[in-house]
Structure 1
Amino acid sequence: MSAARSIAGSAMLSEIATDPLPPEAAEWRKAFGALRPTNPPCRYVSATAWANIHEACTDFIERFGADAVRLGWTAPQLFGVHPEHGLLRVDYCGVMMVGGRKAIGIEADRILFGNLTGYRNVPGAPTGIPIWEFAARREGR
């Protein structure tokens, strides 16, 4: 094996070994990272609104992803959208998919956004699918 290949392989292993995110949150990062911030996956969402949501979700995964997993949050509770109508059906949306604001804290049943709070255990609330699954369906994957 060449020295360059060995160094590159070692760098990749050290990145994996030092990733502070648990596997579930690392999957969220990978799946969400595949969505482009300049290309809204849902109809009727402006490029600006989607860019804000994308940035807030990316920030959330990096800063609070490990805590979210530890507290039992799921991908649909955080990043869910309606299976057919995407962000148009807010009642199906996960906490991070509404508003495009960066989270400032996470607790067992809520995420804090300054003067706003998003809850996950609202009785009777339907559950959506992760936005990356919605995007894959839309693209026919």
Structure 2
Amino acid sequence: MSSGLAPTLIPNPVAMWHGAIENISPHASPCRYLTPAQWAKMREAALDFCDRFGAEAQRHGWTDRQLFGVHPEHGTLRVDYCGALMVAGDRVHAVDADRIVFERTAARRDKQGQEWGPPIWEFRAKRG
């Protein structure tokens, strides 16, 4: 009989990100001051990001807060606490170690003193 260790399931962060975003309705904004139309665009871009770039971002060490964070009280209204994907709702074109590249701009995570709020799915849970 083998005395090997039993396999351990390691959570897949990308699948968790995708599932958490997917579980928020595209028709009901999770944040006050974020219109349902803005949220639908942001949600779609976030799901697209997970599908196309999620694994690469995870390999580079991007966290749920750095990608999907919002201010703990004011949601997306305080963009200084928002993760890269919770600002404009634009689709991502590339992922680097320290930046997420959009068509016309980029979001960086190496800004000294930067703080990110909880992921939007945790914010929604607190509010709803």
From 34, 40, 59, the equivalent of 2:48 is: 59
The alpha carbon displacement at 1:41 in A equals 0.3
Q: 1:37 aligns with which of 26, 48, 70?
A: 26
Match of 2:8 in 1: none
* 1:128 match: 117
Letter in 1 for 2:20: A
Letter in structure 2 aligned against 1:49:
Q
Match of 1:28 among 17, 21, 33: 17
User: Which is higher, the Rg of structure 1 or of structure 2?
Assistant: 1
Match of 1:86 in 2: 75
Segments of 4+ moved more than 3 angstroms: none
Alignment equivalent of 1:108, drawn from 87, 92, 97: 97
Counterpart of 1:114 in structure 2: which amino acid? E
RMSD: 1.0
Distance 1:94 1:138 in 2: 19
Question: d(CA) in 2 for partners of 1:66 and 1:107?
Answer: 12
Identity of aligned residues (%): 50
State how far apart, in whole Å, the 2-side matches of 1:45 and 1:94 are: 15
Cα deviation, 1:23-73, whole Å, max 9, x if unaligned, reads: 010110111110111110000111111111011101000100100110000
User: In 1, Cα distance between the equivalents of 2:57 and 2:87?
Assistant: 17
Q: Which residue of 2 aligns with 1:47?
A: 36
Q: Which has the higher helix share?
A: 1
Matched, 1:96 2:103: no
Supply the distance in 2 between the matched residues of 1:108 and 1:94 (Cα, whole angstroms): 15
Aligned to 1:134, what secondary structure does the other structure show?
A: helix
Distance 1:133 1:29 in 2: 14
Which residue number corresponds to residue 76 of structure 1? Answer: 65
Between the two proteins, the alignment pairs up a number of residues equal to: 118
**Residues of 1 paired with 2:19 and 2:72: CA distance?**
20
Tell me the equivalent position of 1:17. none
User: Aligned equivalents of 1:124 and 1:65: distance in 2?
Assistant: 25
